[in-house]
Copies of this chain bind each other. A is one copy, B any other.
Amino acid sequence: MALASMITRKELPKGYLLLEQGNVCQHFYLLEKGFARGYYNHEGKDVSLWFAFEGDILTSLYSYATGKPSYTSIEILEDSVVNGFTFGQLNDLLEKYPEFNLVGRLLAEQYFIELEERTLSFQFKTATERYYELIRKHPQILRRASLGHIASFLGVSQETLSRIRAKRE
């Protein structure tokens, strides 16, 4: 079983829902080109959890690890190209070549570290600081994501983010 033969390449239009909250995620997708976000919907409130750029992975690690329905949805925000394979294929691979668990471990560690940073920033930084940090790290986000999406990612209302922007300059 060759790795290459497992991979399916797909073109996805803007607005496409790659994964819907409540469904069990079955795939890893590598975002070759485009832009996407993960979000969580709770009582009508739609909150962005992450943004994914070229080279990032689109999946629900939760679903993969637990086999349970994902509580995040994945939305394609710009026409994109992804390369995907199923969890089943990956598990076969891991079974056959246990060394690959090293990659899995490093990946999960990486995920954890990024999330830890995000969590800390919620507890220690103001929305304003989080905003400027975000656009410093990912300036492109300003052009690619809407104010509403960014606001919910930062944990503030749109109006508040708009006022944060207004204060500067």
Contacts and interface: CB of A to CB of B under 8 A. Distances in A.
Interface of A: 40, 42, 45, 47, 49, 61-62, 64-66, 71, 94, 98-99, 101-102, 104-106, 108-113, 115-116, 118-120, 122-124, 155
A65 B113 CA distance: 8
Nearest to A99: B98
A108 B112 contact: yes
A109 B67 CA distance: 12
**Chain A contact surface mostly:** helix
Q: How many copies does the complex hold?
A: 2
A119 B120 contact: no
A137 B102 CA distance: 32
A47 B124 contact: yes
Given A104-B105, A155-B123, A113 B42 contact: no
Nearest to A153: B123
A98 B102 contact: yes
A105 B90 CA distance: 14
A59 to B, nearest CB: 12
6 contacts: A40-B120, A40-B123, A99-B101, A115-B115, A115-B116, A119-B122
Contacts of A99: 98, 101
A88 to B, nearest CB: 17
Contacts of A98: 98-99, 101-102
A62 B115 CA distance: 11
A43 to B, nearest CB: 8
A118 B120 contact: no
A64 B101 CA distance: 17
